[in-house]
Amino acid sequence: MKLGEANYLWQQILQHTRRFFTREAVDMLKTAEVRFLPYAEAVHINKPVIAIPIDVNTSVYPQAPYKVPFNGTELTLWNPLPRPRGEGWTCRPSSDAPIWYRHDMGTLIPAWNIFANLFDLLTLREERENPLRDVHGRFVGSMSPRREANLLAVPAFNEGVAALVAACSGLYKQNNPRFDLEDLVQPPVLILSHDNDILRGNDMWTQSIRLLRIFQPLLSFKAPRLMNLWWMLRNTIYPKTFYLENIAGMVDVEKMLGYTSSFYFLNGSGGRFGARSGSALIPEALRQIPSEWPVGIHYNYDTLLDAERFNSQLAELCSYLDRPIVAGRAHYLRFDPEKSFSFLASMGICIDESVGYPDCIGYRCGIAGPFQPYDHLSGRSLSLWEVPLTIIESTLINQYPRDSVKVFQRLLDHISRIGGAVSLLFHPGLFFNPEFPETGGLYRRLLCAARQITNGGQTLTFDINLYHRDHKLG
């Protein structure tokens, strides 16, 4: 069983390296002898091999996190492995914060449990073993053991692959691991998407919420928010203003700065958590999006693991397009860690972007970039590609109201040094809307900040099976 899991993890490592590193890095990784085996065997190899133990059990609670300088940034590692006994073993780069244990005969053993850490993150172990959920049935970031250790914003998979690529490069050229990625890592990819769940501002639920918020401050003995009466009147007269009409503005900004994005449309049953705007405006919205840009389905709230409702929504949305829909994301990010991956694959979805946190920014699967989920029944990867969501504009603002752009820059700069992709979701209703001044102009500032990360950048192709899109950082 462990060997099957190791084979799955190795395939994800190779695919990740092909996408975010140079051809030279891929060749060195494939040329180097990397073996997954029990710890007791790893410490007795005594030849130039990267030996990764697969039999050291871990808890879902990260143990002893520590940081290591690497390629102009820091790696954050946890669940350290014991240093091998006997002579000839040294810690690299240092005994205080090692990445590798190296034997004089050339054997390298990771100083942290890279196999268990990465496999557990990709397979959502911490939420599969924890029944805790919020009112929407979601495992949110505040429930994660990594949140307690301040590790949610650590792309552990990317950092592990980066360390592995650097080690292979060092062994190939000088028989010692390297701790930099000079000329080996490609510029970062920015994955942009928009959930079109509200296309008009005069639906009953949106107006009711505005009305409620007028009187909410009275509970704290504060003045009522009378300005909400203006928002209610404004959208009664001009329902598409600051909602559907924002789509064209977002597209213009993206074109001007050299980006493309994906648009997910919510249709199907209505209600507070359903499709408030209905489906009548979807054709008009589609006309504002370039025909070659990806359009997908925003799975309705009530379609979770319900094949009949899901197919009904998908069929209706397909009737508005002249091409198949193979990508989607769940409304409210409703997702079942045990069943959703295989369910979505059975529904014909090739690309899913549902796996993210609604309450904080971070890497829910520990990876910045796409991967194929693991099927525990077959012991193999699914045909589906998951593109985990890193940032929602509202959570970024709520967590970091004063330095949102700087936090975004730090995340992307870190990825630029280790390889990967950052996924950003921005809702059209928050692009330019005086009702929400905190997000006014934010999208443009984020994209402009991203351009600076690569000093002009280059066009990167993000190609997964049937799904194709170009993203340009600069």
Tens-place pLDDT, residues 1-45: 688 999 999 999 999 999 999 999 999 999 999 999 999 999 999
Helix or strand or coil: residue 247?
A: helix
- pLDDT score, position 1: 60
- pLDDT score, position 96: 95
Region 159-167: what's the mean pLDDT?
A: 97
- pLDDT score, position 376: 86
Statement: residue 458 has pLDDT above 50: no
Region 58-70: what's the mean pLDDT?
A: 97
User: What's the mean pLDDT when you consider all of the chain?
Assistant: 92
Residue 424 phi/psi, 5-degree rounding, is -120, 125
Statement: residue 228 has pLDDT above 90: no
Statement: residue 48 has pLDDT above 80: yes
Radius of gyration over alpha carbons of the chain, in Å?
24
The percent of residues above 70 in pLDDT, for the chain, comes to 95
Question: One-letter amino acid identity for 28?
Answer: M
More confident residue, 233 or 112: 112
Residue owning tokens 């091998």: 84
- pLDDT score, position 135: 97
Say yes or no: domain 189-200+240-472 is CATH 3.40.640.10. no
- pLDDT score, position 438: 95
Statement: residue 288 has pLDDT above 90: yes
- pLDDT score, position 454: 56
The tokens describing 243, both together, are: 């909602």
- pLDDT score, position 467: 38
Region 426-438: what's the mean pLDDT?
A: 95
- pLDDT score, position 227: 86
- pLDDT score, position 424: 96
Using an 8 Å Cβ cutoff, are 62 and 79 in contact?
Answer: yes
Q: Is the pTM of this model over 0.75?
A: yes
Region 54-72: what's the mean pLDDT?
A: 96
Region 397-403: what's the mean pLDDT?
A: 96
Q: Is the dihedral of CA 308, 309, 315, 318 positive or negative?
A: negative
- pLDDT score, position 377: 84
For residue 8, the tally of other CB atoms under 10 A from its CB is 20
Report d(CA 228, CA 50) in Å as an integer. 62
295-354: per-residue pLDDT in tens? 999 999 999 999 999 999 999 999 999 889 999 999 999 999 999 999 999 999 999 999
The percent of residues above 90 in pLDDT, for the chain, comes to 80
Report d(CA 388, CA 353) in Å as an integer. 5
- pLDDT score, position 379: 85
- Would you list the domain boundaries of the chain? 2-174, 189-200+240-472
Report d(CA 96, CA 37) in Å as an integer. 26
- pLDDT score, position 461: 34
Report d(CA 97, CA 434) in Å as an integer. 49
Q: Taking the mean position of all CA atoms in its chain, how far away is CA 209?
A: 30
Q: Which of 428, 342, 424 is nearest to 386 (CA)?
A: 342
198-223: per-residue pLDDT in tens? 999 899 888 888 888 888 877 887 88
- pLDDT score, position 212: 87
Using an 8 Å Cβ cutoff, are 44 and 60 in contact?
Answer: no
The tokens describing 307, both together, are: 């094949």
- pLDDT score, position 300: 98
Region 246-250: what's the mean pLDDT?
A: 97
- Region of 268 on the Ramachandran plot (φ > 0 left; ψ -120 to 50 alpha; else beta): left
Region 394-415: what's the mean pLDDT?
A: 96
Three-class HEC string of 155-184: CHHHHHHHHHHHHHHHHHHHCCCCCCCCCC
Cis peptide before 93 (omega within 30 of 0): yes
Query: Which of 373-378's residues contact partners 24+ apart within 8 Å by CB, and which partners?
Result: 373/122, 373/123, 373/341, 374/5, 374/8, 374/119, 374/122, 374/123, 375/341, 375/342, 376/123, 377/342
Helix or strand or coil: residue 457?
A: coil
- pLDDT score, position 205: 85
Report d(CA 304, CA 338) in Å as an integer. 12
Q: Which residues contact 107 (CB under 8 A, 6 or more apart)?
A: 42, 43, 45, 46, 47, 48, 49, 51
- pLDDT score, position 323: 84
Report d(CA 99, CA 221) in Å as an integer. 56
Q: Is the dihedral of CA 299, 303, 307, 310 positive or negative?
A: negative
